[in-house]
Amino acid sequence: MQNKGFIRVFAVLLTLVCLFYLSFSLVTRYQTNKAEEYANGDSTKYAQYMDSISTEKVYLWYYTFKQCREMEIGLGLDLKGGMNVTLQISVADVLKSLSNNNLDPNFNKALAIATANQAENKDFLSAFYNEYRKLDPNVRLAAIFSTYQLKDKITPNATNDEVLKVLRSELDDAIDNSFNVLRTRIDRFGVVAPNIQRLEKDGRILVELPGVKEPERVRKLLQGSANLEFWETYNLSEFYNQLAAANDIIAQAENLTIDSTSVVKNTTASVDSTTLAQNPTNVQDSVAQKIKKELNKTESDQQRIETWKKQNPLFAKLQLNVSQQGAVSQSPAVGIAHYSDTAAVNRYLQIPQVRELLPANIMFKWTVKAIDEKEQYYQLVALKATNGGRPPLEGDVITDAREDFDRTTNSAVVSMTMNAEGSKIWEQLTRENIGKCIAIVLDNQVYSFPVVNTEISGGSSQISGNFTPEEAKDLANVLKSGKMAASVKIVQEDIIGPSLGQEAIQSGIMSFIFALILLMVYMISVYGVVPGLIANGGLICNMFFTLGVLASFQAVLTLSGIAGLVLSLGMAVDANVLIFERSKEELRLGKNLKSAITDGYKNAFSAIFDSNLTSIITGIILFFFGTGPIKGFATTLIIGIIMSFFTAVFLTRLVFEKGLEKGWFKNLTFTTSLTKNLLAHPNINFLGKRKIGYTVAGILVVIGAISFTIKGLNQGIEFTGGRNYVVRFDKTVNTQEIANLLKPEFEGSTLSVITIGSDNQVRISTNYKIMDSSDGIDEEIEGKIYRSIKNGNLIGDESLAQFKDQHIMSTQKVGPSIADDIKIAAFWAVLFSLIAIALYILLRFRDISFSVGTLVALAFDTVIIIGFYSIFYGILPFSMEIDQSFIAAILTVIGYSVNDKVVVFDRVREVANIYPKRDKFIVINDALNSTLSRTISTSLSTAIVLICIFVLGGDTIRSFTFAMLLGVIIGTLSTLFMAVPIAYELQSRKQKKEQAQEAASSKK
């Protein structure tokens, strides 16, 4: 083998990289164990411990615990529990806002049609424009969008293409703004390792929140409109004395005695406010460092500090903006507090006696960004409500905002323009607050509070504050978020309880371990101890490399991902099977061991390469069209296939060559007593029986078509829209009884109840009010389920909250629009994968007969699996729904089924090149017989893996693995009795046609 040195170096480097990235998971596991030991079951102590080490460097003297958690392999929602939400921003609302709510009937009708057909179009703007042109062929978009708001970007004479370019930019900005608002809200929610990403579809945003236990709160948080506001402010000096007295009241309220004379004395020594006054949005780490020094004093000092904290409960948590010399700040920044103390500070400031002391119109808001590098301390800002509790100015008056650069100060600034109404209010507001600050607030958090230097007229102003370019861009986005009214609604939702996630982890690990053990035993039993151990070593390396690469991508491991990992192990075995079977053939031809192994690797390479590449093609298509867990499965599968190719083709060969060189391996036969004479010289006339194969295939297709016409398919809510609730009971229940209890509550909607997993767990599916996205609709449906089940005496005397917490294991919601998207994506995914593989086979073998045979056989595999699911759903004891997982199985089957066909075609091509004159009937029959042992062995090894996943992998992927198992069996048969025979039919016809032409030309 050439390039041995490169392969060794690459393997060593890959090993080091994988060790590095996997080590973060070990570090976080170690620290988590320490936290659990310290807490001893106390959740409060556990949270405090985790907070305390969050910013501590715990690995390699560089990485903090927080960074380690970001670098580890995370667990997906189906393993950890949590909430997965797909949000749809109303692009139509944005366009209406940009048109200043134009009343043109054609404009509004085009928007309505584009919205109704949104499932079919990724580009909403183009769809809207096409519909508008159908209604009005002479449409001029400039007449609609040359508003005051866009006057600097769209002129009355602008062409439609120019207007579309501006609108596309404005839409992107609107979606970016919504994305930023959502990201900030989620960060504030305190979820560990959240994931938020824009999807390809216009206005779609995916949000994953592991560990969330308050779904209703999350729904309100995500769907609430963003409120941008401008507020006047108080300076701390204006109410400092009242705040000091408030501290006294708080202490008395907590039954403490204090020395009131020490209040001012102690608080004045806590914070140097010079930086706060000069730069209120950026405080240096000195404050945090001082706090840390306070905590590191001697024991006697600690006692004194604890006494002081009891005497000054407010100031112990809120470090006031007062200099060491006692100068009270002239800034609205009241002080700073650790993020864990902000709730306590809020509570203190809402005590009625404290509110009576402070100005009646004062409000307090926290800054959105921390002031220190470790992101632990936040500023409290004092706002002034002078407009009956409403802000004097709101964000809807802003027409544009952008980051800019001020050459006089050499710093980043934000330029902002307002409409005519906003300009007048802004002029008055700035005139009345010269020398003071105006706070910019979004979602009740302060983003900035710049000082007003002069009255600003004309509606154009510039905000400065020693911003970095990134900070200026963020603030500009915040300001722009107030200029468009774009509603956000949840179109898909999955909630998985932590107990169900824990069960998924256990079942996933069990399936993985059993599959690995059975594969290892299989390889040793079939090919002998030495070849089996080498192949098994390759399997372990493949698993290690796959996990390492996933960790380097900071991927999240899901139950589907575990299935992909296990399946990639099965495909890794396939490569070894091809090599070992070919080496066995070479030995039978009389070659010595070294030559047989060398030729075995050499001659099996093309088949391995082709089969792996076709599987990767389907994996890529699956990744492109899939969502959520399906993308995770595709990612893991693709990486696993690449790693299996490297380990099986290159690393195992290095071991064989080293062993042969050292004389370790002698008398290897790649057989055992069980397999020595098994399929050694098969002689089955496959082509002679091809008509029987065609007849059986035709009958199966007809039966499936009849069932599909009469019975149809059991479409999951991903394809129909609706809600799923997995409910667990304390005893065995009857699904028909539960359905009868629920029917009165869900009259007029579809309803199904099936057992899922054990006989005390059911899944309730309904499309009741699926179009309704109003607040409380989820609570209403859960209440209906609760009342029905309670009236049937299936649960005890439990409240709704207890029922949801103890019995609802997971929920899923898919809106009709996203259901249409998923169906369309599934159709195109299957079609593209069939075409892509057929084209690849044509490119690789340069013979249309191979492509046609492959395409027909793969289509047959797909139709038979779908027909089987139509016939047997409701009969077999597990869910047989057609959903994204089923489509993933179909695509994986398509990719895998090609493997057998490629192996046979590769042998046909090889023999045909050696014996070009030999009859094609004999060549193809010999190819089918000579590769039969490989066909059966590869199918059997993959079937072993799939059976493990099917039995042990959990209910959520049982239907998926069953479809895969069915596909492996049917795919093997379609290779022998359809793909290859059809290729022979076409080649035979072509050969007869050529012979006829030659005969005709010879007569002439």
Residue 339 pLDDT > 90: no
Residue 273 pLDDT > 60: no
pLDDT given for residue 10 in this prediction: 92
**Cα–Cα distance measured from residue 1003 to residue 999, given in angstroms and rounded to the nearest whole number:** 6
Q: Is residue 58 domain-shared with residue 103, that is, in the same domain?
A: no
Q: For residue 715, is it within any domain?
A: no
Q: Is residue 907 domain-shared with residue 962, that is, in the same domain?
A: yes
Residue 396 pLDDT > 70: yes
pLDDT, one tens digit per residue, over 421-454 is 889 999 999 999 998 999 988 878 888 898 888 8
Which of 550, 561, 568, 547 minimizes the C-alpha distance to 644?
A: 568
CA distances to 221, 407, 560, 814, 887 from 627, rounded to whole Å, are 23, 47, 12, 13, 12
Q: For residue 717, is it within any domain?
A: no
**DSSP labels, 513-549:** HHHHHHHHHHHHHHH-HHHHHHHHHHHHHHHHHHHHH
Q: For residue 610, is it within any domain?
A: yes
Give 340 or 496, the one with higher predicted confidence.
340
- Beta bridge partners of residue 303, listed in sequence order: none
Share of the chain above pLDDT 70, in %: 89
Give 647 or 504, the one with higher predicted confidence.
647
**CA trace torsion 628, 629, 635, 636 (10° rounding):** 160
pLDDT given for residue 482 in this prediction: 57
Q: Is residue 343 domain-shared with residue 322, that is, in the same domain?
A: yes
Residues 6+ apart with CB under 8 A from 613: 840
Which of 348, 404, 350, 337 minimizes the C-alpha distance to 377?
A: 337
pLDDT given for residue 1002 in this prediction: 73
One-letter amino acid at 983 equals A
**Cα–Cα distance measured from residue 879 to residue 866, given in angstroms and rounded to the nearest whole number:** 14
pLDDT given for residue 703 in this prediction: 94
**Cα–Cα distance measured from residue 589 to residue 586, given in angstroms and rounded to the nearest whole number:** 5
Which range among 159-163, 223-227, 886-890 shows the weakest confidence by mean pLDDT?
A: 223-227
198's torsion region: left (phi>0), alpha (psi -120 to 50) or beta?
beta
Which of 619, 637, 550 minimizes the C-alpha distance to 945?
A: 637
Which of 919, 909, 911, 930 minimizes the C-alpha distance to 683?
A: 930
Which range among 215-219, 464-468, 625-629, 669-673 shows the weakest confidence by mean pLDDT?
A: 625-629
Q: Is residue 409 domain-shared with residue 262, that is, in the same domain?
A: yes
- Are the C-beta atoms of residues 482 and 395 closer than 8 Å to each other? yes
What confidence category does residue 404 fall into, taking pLDDT thresholds of 50, 70 and 90? confident
What confidence category does residue 296 fall into, taking pLDDT thresholds of 50, 70 and 90? low
Q: For residue 175, is it within any domain?
A: yes
pLDDT given for residue 871 in this prediction: 92
pLDDT, one tens digit per residue, over 918-965 is 888 888 888 888 888 888 888 888 888 888 888 887 676 788 788 888
**Cα–Cα distance measured from residue 259 to residue 622, given in angstroms and rounded to the nearest whole number:** 70
CA angle, 850 as apex, 963 and 585 as ends, to 5°? 85
Q: Is residue 864 domain-shared with residue 954, that is, in the same domain?
A: yes
pLDDT given for residue 438 in this prediction: 92
pLDDT, one tens digit per residue, over 868-883 is 999 998 788 777 888 7
Residue 277 pLDDT > 90: no
Q: For residue 116, is it within any domain?
A: yes
Q: Is residue 17 domain-shared with residue 45, that is, in the same domain?
A: yes
Each as own residue / partner, the long-range contacts of residues 837-842 (CB below 8 Å, 24 or more positions apart, any chain) are: 837/614, 837/617, 837/618, 837/894, 837/895, 837/898, 840/610, 840/613, 840/614, 840/617, 841/614, 841/898, 841/901, 841/902, 841/905
Residue 278 pLDDT > 60: no
One-letter amino acid at 481 equals S
- Beta bridge partners of residue 400, listed in sequence order: 417
CA angle, 761 as apex, 770 and 630 as ends, to 5°? 60
Instruction: Map tokens 């390699």 to a residue.
Output: 60
**Cα–Cα distance measured from residue 186 to residue 188, given in angstroms and rounded to the nearest whole number:** 5
Q: List the CATH number of the domain containing 837.
A: 1.20.1640.10
pTM of the model: 0.69
CA distances to 177, 463, 788, 962 from 784, rounded to whole Å, are 37, 53, 6, 34
Total domains in the fold of the chain:
5
- Are the C-beta atoms of residues 457 and 427 closer than 8 Å to each other? yes
Q: Is residue 856 domain-shared with residue 911, that is, in the same domain?
A: yes
pLDDT given for residue 276 in this prediction: 31
Question: Which of 484, 519, 554 corresponds to the end of one domain?
Answer: 484
**Cα–Cα distance measured from residue 653 to residue 649, given in angstroms and rounded to the nearest whole number:** 6
Stretch 208-230: mean pLDDT: 75
pLDDT given for residue 261 in this prediction: 36
pLDDT given for residue 212 in this prediction: 73
Q: Is residue 806 domain-shared with residue 826, that is, in the same domain?
A: no
Domain of 430, in residue numbers: 228-484
- Are the C-beta atoms of residues 391 and 438 closer than 8 Å to each other? no
Stretch 366-377: mean pLDDT: 82
Q: Is residue 670 domain-shared with residue 807, that is, in the same domain?
A: no
Residue 625 pLDDT > 80: no
Give 68 or 410, the one with higher predicted confidence.
68
pLDDT given for residue 268 in this prediction: 29
Share of the chain above pLDDT 90, in %: 13
pLDDT, one tens digit per residue, over 862-917 is 899 999 999 998 788 777 888 777 887 887 788 778 877 888 888 888 888 877 77
Q: Is residue 789 domain-shared with residue 921, that is, in the same domain?
A: no
Question: Which of 814, 832, 851 corresponds to the end of one domain?
Answer: 814
pLDDT, one tens digit per residue, over 558-589 is 767 777 777 777 777 888 888 888 888 888 88
Q: For residue 1001, is it within any domain?
A: no
Q: Is residue 234 domain-shared with residue 333, that is, in the same domain?
A: yes
pLDDT given for residue 437 in this prediction: 92
Q: For residue 623, is it within any domain?
A: yes
Question: Which of 223, 254, 275 corresponds to the end of one domain?
Answer: 223
Q: List the CATH number of the domain containing 748.
A: 3.30.70
pLDDT, one tens digit per residue, over 594-606 is 899 999 898 888 8
What confidence category does residue 201 fall into, taking pLDDT thresholds of 50, 70 and 90? low
Q: For residue 492, is it within any domain?
A: no
Q: Is residue 618 domain-shared with residue 764, that is, in the same domain?
A: no
Residue 13 pLDDT > 90: yes
Residue 188 pLDDT > 70: no
Residue 980 pLDDT > 60: yes
